[in-house]
């Protein structure tokens, strides 16, 4: 299918496609050029986030999609680089147009986190309520999940599977099926057989990684042993990601959760290529992936200073103006 070379906000999504936009491909280390973990998925009329790391809400608003259209967030685990943008997305969404509750799915312990969020921002919400004259949209609805089907409604099925991250284990990956397409999101994990089992026949696999340890140790000033513990014990080296891809054979494989500096992507790709020759990308923020009969990977062309988009049906001007 012929597409524009770049993705511009507002591009229609064909009914038989899934569109995946990387809103955050980074790590717990805050960087201006790379937000922390967050993936935006659109398919079968659904729009939702997988994780919501710090920095990601600003990448979301750059897509100029009304907050009101996104009422679901699925969390893989509770590390700050995966939930640290949730408060901004929640309250920013309410104050800029969402009038329905924000629904959060997460592993055991998510309800407690949500209760704490609500306590932390009690004063915030009360003061804003007086300005906006409504609490509608300020509610958080939390559902805790276990391994298995988390969501199965209106043409969207999301299944959680246990992965192997930091003990005590409470981290999941997701298999998402909609519009006749399938994507798998690893969350955070080292090489995990359960992921490989759940990732068979996927169109797209977004797998976490960390830079090759020699580079990571040198750049980040970590002793090799510490670099190993981080990059290869609780995360997956690019070499191991290549091995996972060889066992799953997606139509497209993508690495996220990795320092993606120019001098890292080459060595990382070389490691991937030791075992895998299929189509592969190192993710960067605002990479847009359309999964249809073909798969396209394009950069989004966005404004760094977008204005809020009015809620659906209330545009006074076309989006983007
Ligand atoms: Zn983590
Ligand atoms: Zn992480």
Q: Which ligand neighbours the alpha carbon of 84 most closely? A: 2
C-alpha 269: how far from its chain's center?
Answer: 21
| H-assigned helices in the chain | 56-62, 80-83, 86-95, 110-120, 122-132, 193-198, 213-220, 224-228, 238-248, 262-273
Q: Is residue 7 part of a domain?
A: no
> For residue range 125-156, what is the model confidence (pLDDT) as tens digits?
999 998 888 899 999 999 999 999 999 999 99
Nearest bound ligand to the CA of residue 78: 1
Q: Pull the structure tokens for residue 165.
A: 């991250």
Strand order in the sheet with 72-74: 140-144, 102-106, 72-74, 46-50, 38-43, 18-24, 287-291, 295-299
According to the model, what pLDDT value does residue 310 have? 74
In a domain, residue 116? The reply is yes
Backbone dihedral angles phi then psi of residue 296, each to the nearest 5 degrees: -115, 145
pLDDT at 198 over 90: yes
Q: How many Cβ atoms from other residues are within 10 Å of residue 293's Cβ?
A: 10
What total number of domains does the chain contain?
A: 1
Residue 137 half-sphere exposure toward CB, CA atoms < 13 A: 21
Q: Please give the distance, rounded to the nearest whole angstrom, from the Cα atom of residue 120 to the centre of ligand 2.
A: 23
Q: What pLDDT, on a 0 to 100 scale, did the predictor assign at position 203?
A: 98
Q: Give percent of the chain above pLDDT 70.
A: 96
Does some domain include residue 6? Answer: no
Burial classification of residue 201, based on how many CB atoms lie within 10 Å of its CB (0-12 exposed, 13-18 middle, 19 or more buried): exposed
Confidence band for 2, pLDDT divided at 50, 70 and 90: confident
Residue 319, domain member (yes or no): no
Instruction: Report the DSSP pairing between strands 181-185 and 172-178.
Output: antiparallel
Map residue 70 onto helix, strand or coil.
coil
Going by C-alpha positions, the residue among 257, 278, 259 that lies closest to residue 267 is 259
Report residue 317's pLDDT band, with 50, 70 and 90 as the boundaries: very low
Distance from the alpha carbon of residue 319 to the mean position of ligand 2, in angstroms? 33
288 lies in which domain range?
18-299
Integer Cα distance of 303 and 307 in angstroms: 9
State in Å: Cα 305 to ligand 1 middle.
Answer: 30
Q: In this structure, is residue 2 part of a structural domain?
A: no
On whether residue 151 sits in a domain, the answer given is: yes
DSSP-derived 3-state class of residue 36: coil
CATH number of the domain enclosing 153: 3.60.15.10
Ligand 1 centroid distance, CA of 79 (Å): 5
Q: Counting ligands in written order, which one lies closest to the CA of residue 82?
A: 2
Other Cβ atoms closer than 10 A to 193:
11
The string of pLDDT tens digits covering residues 243-293 is 999 999 999 999 999 999 999 999 999 999 999 999 999 999 999 999 999
DSSP string over 80-102: HHHHTTHHHHHHHHHHTT--SPE
Q: Ligand 1 center to residue 192 CA distance, Å?
A: 14
Find the largest Cα–Cα distance for the chain: 59
What's the CA-to-centroid distance between 104 and ligand 1, angstroms? 18
Would you give the DSSP letter of residue 67?
A: G
| Band (311; pLDDT cuts 50, 70, 90) | low
Q: 209 CA to middle of ligand 1, Å? A: 11
229 domain residue, yes or no: yes
**At 312, is the pLDDT very low, low, confident or very high (cuts 50, 70, 90)?**
low
91 located within any domain: yes
How many Å lie between the centroid of ligand 1 and the Cα of residue 71? Answer: 24
């Amino acid at each position: 299918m012929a597409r524009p070379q770049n993705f511009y906000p507002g591009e229609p999504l064909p009914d038989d496609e899934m569109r995946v936009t990387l809103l955050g491909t980074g790590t717990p280390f805050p960087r201006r050029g790379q937000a922390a973990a967050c993936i935006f998925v659109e398919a079968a009329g659904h729009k939702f986030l997988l994780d919501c790391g710090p920095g990601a809400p600003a990448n979301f608003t750059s897509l100029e999609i009304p907050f009101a259209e996104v009422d679901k967030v699925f969390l893989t685990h509770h590390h700050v680089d995966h939930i640290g943008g949730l408060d901004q997305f929640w309250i920013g969404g309410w104050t800029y147009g969402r009038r329905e509750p924000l629904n959060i799915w997460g592993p055991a312990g998510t309800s407690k986190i949500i209760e704490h969020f609500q306590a932390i921002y009690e004063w915030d919400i009360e003061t804003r309520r007086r300005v906006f004259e409504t609490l509608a949209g300020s509610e958080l609805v939390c559902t805790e999940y276990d391994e298995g089907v988390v969501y199965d409604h209106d043409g969207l099925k999301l299944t959680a599977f246990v992965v192997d991250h930091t003990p005590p284990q409470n981290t999941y990956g997701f298999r998402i099926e909609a519009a006749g397409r399938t994507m798998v999101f690893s969350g955070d994990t080292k090489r995990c057989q359960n992921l490989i089992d759940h990732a068979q026949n996927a169109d797209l696999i977004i797998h976490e990684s960390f830079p090759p340890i020699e580079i990571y140790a040198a750049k980040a000033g970590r002793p090799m042993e510490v670099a190993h513990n981080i990059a290869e014990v609780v995360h997956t080296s690019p070499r191991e990601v290549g091995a996972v891809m060889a066992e799953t054979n997606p139509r497209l494989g993508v690495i996220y959760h990795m320092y993606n500096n120019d001098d890292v992507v080459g060595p990382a790709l070389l490691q991937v290529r030791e075992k895998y020759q299929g189509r592969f990308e190192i993710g960067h923020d605002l990479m847009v992936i359309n999964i249809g009969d073909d798969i396209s990977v394009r950069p989004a062309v966005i404004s760094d200073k977008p204005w809020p988009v009015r809620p659906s049906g209330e545009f006074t001007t076309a989006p983007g103006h």
